[in-house]
């Protein structure tokens, strides 16, 4: 029997296999040798009474939770801005008092839009509607419009997350 030459298909397969194997070769190390101390692999709360676990980066859980709630805080406004903002409270109260009961988010939005407030957000909880709205000159009017009773209004800066309505449980 005579010898046969490999076909083009066999050569192509061999080239693919060699290329794949070349990609599996171990790359030379480019990092510096270890200093002998373990690298932290977890974050562990400090308890104050127990020794710190190995391979942990300590953190204060209470401080971390407080920082996690910072998005709820309102930005500070200047006294001049608060004075300007408070001029919108009585018109907002009157517009909301005219809303038919039981109140809906759309009713609250329409009432606040009618007095030129913007970026209005509502949250209907069943017993009334929480709301937040921006005043064009800066700041927010926010509060609660109950299904029975008078509207509750407050003024302040926008929350750190942006907008005027702080979401519950967010």
- What Cα–Cα distance (Å) separates residue 153 from each residue in 85, 117, 135? 12, 14, 14
Domain ranges of the chain: 38-68, 74-156
**Nearest-angstrom CA–CA distance, 48 and 4:** 79
Strands 140-146 and 56-59: unpaired
pLDDT of residue 18: 55
Q: What is the pLDDT of residue 167?
A: 79
Q: In angstroms, rounded to a whole number, what is the distance separating the alpha carbons of residues 132 and 112? A: 10
Cα(132)–Cα(164) distance, integer angstroms: 5
* Residue 156: per-residue pLDDT: 96
Report residue 146 as tokens. Answer: 């109950």
Range 125-131 average pLDDT: 94
Closest CA to 76 of 165, 158, 169: 158
Percent above pLDDT 90 for the chain: 49
Residue of higher predicted confidence among 154 and 5:
154
The pTM score is: 0.61
What gap in Å lies between CA 143 and CA 67, rounded to an integer? Answer: 24
Query: Residue 111: what pLDDT?
Result: 98
Per-residue pLDDT at 101: 94
Q: Cα separation of 19 and 167, whole Å?
A: 55
Q: What is the pLDDT of residues 30-80, one digit of tens each?
A: 555 555 566 777 777 776 666 666 777 777 767 766 556 666 678 899 999
Q: What band does 11 get if pLDDT is binned at 50, 70 and 90?
A: low
Place of tokens 């300007």: 84
Q: What is the largest CA-CA distance in the chain?
A: 106
């Amino acid at each position: 029997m005579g010898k046969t030459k490999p076909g083009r298909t066999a050569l192509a397969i061999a080239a693919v296999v060699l290329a794949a194997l070349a990609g599996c070769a171990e790359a030379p190390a480019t990092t510096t040798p270890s200093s002998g101390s373990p690298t932290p692999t977890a974050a562990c709360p400090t308890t104050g009474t127990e020794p710190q676990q190995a391979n942990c980066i300590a953190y204060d859980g209470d401080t971390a939770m407080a920082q996690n709630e910072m998005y709820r805080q309102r930005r500070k406004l200047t006294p001049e801005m608060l004075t300007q903002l408070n001029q919108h409270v009585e018109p907002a109260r009157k517009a909301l008092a005219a809303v038919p009961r039981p109140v809906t988010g759309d009713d609250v939005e329409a009432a606040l839009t009618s007095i030129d407030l913007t970026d209005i957000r509502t949250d209907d909880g069943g017993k009334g509607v929480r709301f937040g709205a921006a005043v064009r000159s800066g700041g927010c009017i926010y509060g609660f419009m109950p299904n029975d009773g008078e509207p509750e209004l407050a003024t302040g800066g926008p929350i750190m997350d942006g907008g005027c309505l702080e979401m519950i449980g967010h």
